[in-house]
Amino acid sequence: MFGPQISGLLSTIITIFIFVLIVRAIFSWFPGMLYTEAGRIIVLATEWYLAPIRRVIPPVGGLDLSFLVGLIILWALQTFIVSANIVAALVGIVRSVLIFCIILVLVRVFFGFFRMDPWHPITQMVMQVTEPFARPFRQWFPRNPRQFDWAPVAAFVVLLGALVLLSQLAGLVGIVG
């Protein structure tokens, strides 16, 4: 699609922008950091990109997911520019979403082990986001209040299997990602 020099330049620009987005996320963890001079520059450099995503994907449980969606979009765009293969970019998006879902379900499993506060906003967000994955397994693993919830474990295994299957299929057709 592009020449090697232009592809390399665009890939480098995307990598730098991904780095700036990660710095913005780190700044957001520290109160007041986004209001410093460096924070204002970071917000100015990234808000044009994150604001439209935020309008489509609202915050869940008080967490802004536009950052993660923006990273996945940039990573897929970078994959497409470097490989000039739309299928590889789509496989990359699906793989990234699967990995994100696997991590969230794994966090939910850990919450079950450690008996996290069910009223904490992060716990509620993780439970709300991962329940659609656990719900199909409720008929085999019904939820009991004082027992460990095995439905998220089953969801984790199925999601992990889907990731392995996707990776194997991608390898068979020659998509490296």
pLDDT-derived band at 157, boundaries 50, 70, 90 = very high
Query: Higher-confidence residue: 66 or 163?
Result: 163
Contact 81, 10 (CB under 8 A): yes
3-state secondary structure of 2: coil
Question: Residue 141 pLDDT > 60, yes or no?
Answer: yes
Within 10 A of 50 (CB to CB), how many other CB atoms are there?
17
Q: Of 151, 115, 116, 159, give the one whose Cα is nearest residue 131.
A: 151
Task: Tell me the CB-side half-sphere exposure of residue 103, using CA atoms within 13 A.
Answer: 7
3-state secondary structure of 60: strand
Contact 127, 60 (CB under 8 A): no
**Cα dihedral value 24, 30, 36, 42, nearest 10:** 0
Average pLDDT over every residue of 58-79: 80
Contact 151, 141 (CB under 8 A): yes
Question: Partners of 136 in the beta sheet?
Answer: none
pTM: 0.68
**Which pLDDT belongs to residue 2?**
66
**Which pLDDT belongs to residue 44?**
94
Within 10 A of 104 (CB to CB), how many other CB atoms are there?
20
Query: Higher-confidence residue: 57 or 175?
Result: 57
**Which pLDDT belongs to residue 14?**
94
